[in-house]
Amino acid sequence: MKAIILAAGRGERMNSSLPKPLHKVLGLSLIERVIIPLLKAGIKEIIVVLGYKGEEIENYLKKKFKDKKINFQFVYNNDYEKGNGASFLLALKRLKADEPFLLLMADHIYSPTIIERLLKEKDSFIVVNQNFSLIKDLAEETKVKINNGYLVAIGKDLKDFDGVDGGIFLLRRKDWQLNKKEGELCLIIKEYLKKEKIKPFYLKKDEYVFNINDQESKKWASNYLLNHCGKKEDGIISRNINRKISKLFTQFLINLNCSPLTFTIINFLLTILAAFSFFFSNILGAFLVQLVSIFDGVDGEIARLKLATTKFGAYLDAILDRYGDTIIMLSLAFAHYLKTNQDLIFFWTIWAILGSNISMILKEKEKLLFSYSFTNPLLPPSRDLRLFLIFLFGIFNQLFPLVIFLAIFINLGVLIRLLLVKRFAKED
């Protein structure tokens, strides 16, 4: 399937000489945020309609995606000031009769899952946003009216409407050579509706679409993405403490030309530093461990915000977390032994390490077998909580009670996991 991206407009309300599609939101240009989800969905034939400073956008895309094997077709609309309807009709000439295609706007930010879901459909659809809390200025949005499961009206001036145009369409190459040769796309859609039907494609609860009209709407979208870049699996410390701080790091670091893996490695090196700090000061080690816990979320936040999540990245992060946790536990045990000569701490430390690693293995095994992981207040503390406990016990110089508590609680949790799995497997 091919995709058409309309990127010809001037974007005067951005108050910038930079073409609107090249304005960046959290480290990515607007047009990159449109193209990357297409690539992830397997679409590599993309028609881009250009106008204002079109050559600048074309050169940017060729350089940015030179290694992605994209078949770009650049179409120039010299009359771009007449509206995106003319741009759309120019792009249609590059399609075959009855060929399905996606139509997207270069100034919209949207959830990648929308494309994945939309490609499973066969009929014509318009993405409709009914979550008005996501919209900065409703008056500036194109509204849609739905009746009996079909789009019946579209326009900014609608008084009675059911949602807002999400700027994404799944259509077929029909006879679009209509009476309207210029103006906004919605005028052409209105005429098209006299002959064909378009269904609404509603956003799911966790999906979003943002229309970037000006600097305020760009800031609005940035804040939303930052506030929703955590994971559903976040533990209690991550949700209530770590994420609030890690997002400040992320907001600054995301504009650097570094991959998420770079920050994964940096956090592992910081983990080693924190571990060996216990040989000098328990308090220093404790604070550095909590810093590790906070910074541990940065690589994932950047990966999600820059649409750069990979299976290898998640795999490497999990491995380094296991190494890091083991190094921290061994270091604080040796540091305590050198200061107190209490060799019994090694017994409890080994059990804490074993329980922690086995617990993580069981958790992943549960996801593999049952597609989800069990939750229970008596289960072993998540990594964010374990590191927070090390922080709390460390600042009060209570490392021996710490490892005893972790060893007992974690291994008790492993036993509870086994019982839960046995019960669930029996019911299954």
Regarding whether 159 and 200 lie in a shared domain, the answer is yes
Regarding whether 219 and 253 lie in a shared domain, the answer is no
Residue in 348, 323, 238, 345 with CA at minimum distance from that of residue 272: 323
Regarding whether 86 and 17 lie in a shared domain, the answer is yes
Q: What is the pLDDT of residue 242?
A: 94
Regarding whether 274 and 203 lie in a shared domain, the answer is no
Q: Are 208 and 16 in contact (CB under 8 A)?
A: no
Q: What is the pLDDT of residue 186?
A: 84
Rounded Cα distance between 74 and 88, Å, is 13
Let me know the angle formed at the C-alpha of 219 by 217 and 220, rounded to the nearest 5 degrees. Answer: 60
Regarding whether 400 and 279 lie in a shared domain, the answer is yes
Q: What is the pLDDT of residue 75?
A: 96
The residue from 180, 200, 224 where one domain ends is 224
Q: How many CB atoms lie within 10 A of CB 151?
A: 25
Regarding whether 254 and 128 lie in a shared domain, the answer is no
The pTM (predicted TM-score) of the whole model is 0.90
Q: What is the pLDDT of residue 43?
A: 96
Regarding whether 277 and 186 lie in a shared domain, the answer is no
- What are the per-10-residue average pLDDT scores of the chain (428 residues)? 94 91 96 96 96 96 92 93 87 87 96 95 93 88 93 91 94 64 76 86 94 93 94 87 95 93 97 97 97 96 95 94 96 96 96 91 79 63 90 96 95 86 71
Regarding whether 383 and 315 lie in a shared domain, the answer is yes
Q: What is the pLDDT of residue 148?
A: 93
Q: How many domains does the chain have?
A: 2
Rounded Cα distance between 221 and 422, Å, is 45
9: number of CA atoms within 13 Å, CB side? 22
Rounded Cα distance between 337 and 331, Å, is 10
Domain carrying residue 65: 2-224
Q: How many CB atoms lie within 10 A of CB 18?
A: 13
- How buried is residue 120: exposed, middle or buried, by Cβ count under 10 Å (0-12/13-18/19+)? exposed
